[in-house]
Amino acid sequence: MKPTILDCTKAELCAAITPSFRAKQIFQWIYSQYVDDFDAMKNLPQTMRTTLQERYDIMPLHILNKEVSSDGTIKYLFALRDGKTVESVLLRMKEAQYDSNGELLHHAKYTVCVSTQVGCKVGCSFCLTAKGGFTRDLCAGEIVAQVLALKKDNNIAAERRLNIVYMGMGEPLDNLENLAKAITIFSDEDGLAISTKRQTVSTSGLSSRIDQLGAMNLGVHIAISLHAVDDTLRSELIPMNKAHNIASIIEAVKRFPIDTRKRVMFEYLMIKGKNDDRSSAKKLVKLLHGIKAKVNLIYFNPYEGSTYERPSKASMVAFQEYLIAHGLLCTIRDSKGMDISAACGQLKEKTDQEMR
């Protein structure tokens, strides 16, 4: 199988071809014109097009399934070249708005949620992705391709900026090298030009890797999937908490280079009867003391066979109000795409079943 050219940073492409200024043109064809055939790159000499064709593929995935939610969220299932599948979600954060004359006031705002692995090794007890175990890491090109494919499929103009959250399938920090490369390719000004400030890496808390990501000084944000305030419950939810406990994560977060205007996001998955009580809220306030934090409460999203239950809206709101009253910023993640297979891993599971 030929490597995908999406796996190349511009610097790598410059080094691989002569003359190197052609790399910029190739990037523009792929990321601005959404061209998926080297032969269509008309300003390249024919010999170069042929060489590229011999050496590389462009798109390493295709759309296998797609579900559109009534709120505009679109969930994709992609097939990779080895037949493995991963999910991505396009979230419409704000609709485009027009004035009474039909003039555009502002464009729609998008966030893309991308996967970094096929499956996941972490094995969280509430997560459907974990049930299928771990298959393999995605290469950088396969991470980049998800955003490119979504932009193309939705006719999103090249110059429209969007946000990326690494919150799809897999643990991004368990695939750090390819993640870092994808971050770099995404932010290339001749490519998708998605500034690292618009990219958020969500992690279940591999504390030593949080340090490694910080040391790379990429300028990305981090989101910590905290979910529990004591190590006993956290280890039940996220088994590797035994090796990377809450204290070690908090310490790593304190060392992480953060833009002074920004906050570290702590995700807190609310599970009925497990972590949705007042005493957990109290402990959370204490735990995050001294950190510029923002808490995002997430409703547990049940799936067939899951043992946990979705919390009531009242308990979510009471939890949120307690945190806010004690000085924390706190939002409740609106359950975008609730009518489609919204939680991590659910579209893959459904499609796999249908194909069986």
From 8, 67, 87, 113, the catalytic residue: 87
Output the six-digit token pair for 208. Answer: 């030593």
Among 7, 171, 267, 276, binds ligand SF4 (CB under 6 A): 171
Contact call for residue 351 and ligand SAH (CB under 6 A): no
300 makes contact, choosing from ligand SAH, ligand SF4, none, with CB < 5 to 8 Å by partner type, with ligand SAH
* Residue 118 three-state SS: strand
Is residue 87 among the annotated active site residues?
yes
Is residue 344 among the annotated active site residues?
yes
Q: Which range in 192-200, 201-209, 246-254, 323-331 contacts ligand SAH by CB under 6 A? A: 201-209
Contact call for residue 204 and ligand SF4 (CB under 6 A): yes
Give the nearer residue to ligand SAH in terms of CB position, either 25 or 335: 335
130 makes contact, choosing from ligand SF4, ligand SAH, none, with CB < 5 to 8 Å by partner type, with ligand SF4
Q: What's the rounded Cα separation, in Å, for the pair 303 and 51? A: 48
Contact call for residue 170 and ligand SF4 (CB under 6 A): yes
Contact call for residue 342 and ligand SF4 (CB under 6 A): no
List b or e across 257-270, with b for residues whose CB sees 16 or more CB atoms inside 10 angstroms: ebeeeeebbbbbbb
Q: What's the rounded Cα separation, in Å, for the pair 356 and 353? A: 5
Contact call for residue 65 and ligand SF4 (CB under 6 A): no
Contact call for residue 344 and ligand SF4 (CB under 6 A): yes
* Residue 299 three-state SS: strand
Contact call for residue 130 and ligand SF4 (CB under 6 A): yes
Query: How far does CA 214 lie from the centroid of its chain?
Result: 18
Q: Which long-range contacts (CB under 8 A, 24 or more apart) does 25-33 make?
A: 26/52, 27/188, 27/190, 27/191, 28/190, 30/5, 30/6, 30/58, 30/148, 30/191, 31/148, 31/158, 31/188, 31/190, 31/191, 31/192, 31/193, 32/158, 33/158
Contact call for residue 295 and ligand SAH (CB under 6 A): no
Contact call for residue 246 and ligand SAH (CB under 6 A): no
Q: What's the rounded Cα separation, in Å, for the pair 201 and 265? A: 10
One character per residue 149-188, x = contact with ligand SAH (rule: CB under 6 A)? ------------------x---x-----------------
Angle at 197 between CA 168 and CA 287, to 5 degrees: 70
Give the interface with ligand SF4 as residue ranges (CB under 6 A): 120, 122-124, 127, 129-130, 169-171, 204, 344
Catalytic residues: 87, 344
